Amino acid sequence: MLDILKEITTFVFDVDGVMTDGSVYVTETGEQFRQFNIKDGYAVQLAVKLGYNVAAISGSRSKISLHRLNSLGVKDVYIGAHTKTENFKIYLEEKHIKPLNVMYMGDDIPDLEVMKLAGIAVCPADAAEEIKAVCSYVSPFVGGRGCVRDVIEKVLKVQQKWLGAQAYTW
């Protein structure tokens, strides 16, 4: 398992249920809000600064997600994605990335097919059972509560790019 983490150059995340806890707060005027985890955000921006490719593919059309990810340095954000596999393939082709080098984190049925294309599929602890069944790793953290940080940190530690990194096992 650790050998494949050495090959990861790219992180691709679903948003709702992975980078958020899946809750959508709606005001009386119809505005929608989502909550992101600051520790997940730290790991995302660190991965970007270290030169990793980071992308997000979401079925939601939430511009809040777009703004949050852009503020972390993530420029490749696909919102309103009806077919995540299509966006995934386009992203890899445009960036000249091999699927083997990609870690994809998803949590629900719309992520299932795209997860099968990635070098390694991972998910939060509260992912759908069908998703857990195709994953190489299930984070002990639930969506929006540190699962993104967990997987990024593991990759960076294995690649000796995390502060004080040491050999890490799952």
Residues annotated within a binding site: 14, 16, 107
Residues annotated within a binding site for substrate: 16
In a domain, 169, yes or no: no
Task: Kindly report the length of the chain.
Answer: 170
In a domain, 163, yes or no: no
What is the token pair recorded at 136? 């190489």
User: Per residue in 111-129, pLDDT tens?
Assistant: 999 999 999 999 999 999 9
Where b means 16+ CB within 10 Å and e means fewer, 12-46 reads bbbbbbbbbbbeeeeeeeeeeebebbeebbebbbb
The residue that leads in pLDDT, 170 or 40, is 40
pLDDT at 1: 64
Nearest to 122 by CA among 1, 24, 20: 1
pLDDT, average across residues 19-44: 90
C-beta pairs of 132-140 under 8 Å, 24+ apart in sequence: 136/1, 136/4, 137/1, 137/170
pLDDT at 166: 45
In a domain, 33, yes or no: yes
In a domain, 92, yes or no: yes
Is the confidence at residue 36, as pLDDT, over 60?
Answer: yes
pTM for the structure as a whole = 0.92
Q: How many domains are contained in the chain? A: 1
Is the confidence at residue 169, as pLDDT, over 60?
Answer: no
In a domain, 166, yes or no: no
Q: Note down the domain range covering 50.
A: 2-158
pLDDT at 115: 97
pLDDT, average across residues 35-60: 95
pLDDT at 165: 46
In a domain, 143, yes or no: yes
In a domain, 86, yes or no: yes
Nearest to 55 by CA among 18, 12, 10, 99: 12
Q: How far is CA 100 from CA 92, 104, 109, 155, in A?
A: 11, 11, 22, 14
In a domain, 99, yes or no: yes
Residues annotated within a binding site for Mg(2+): 14, 107
Q: What is the mean pLDDT of the chain?
A: 92
Q: Which domain CATH number covers 125? A: 3.40.50.1000
Q: How far is CA 30 from CA 19, 27, 59, 113, 133, in A?
A: 22, 5, 19, 32, 36
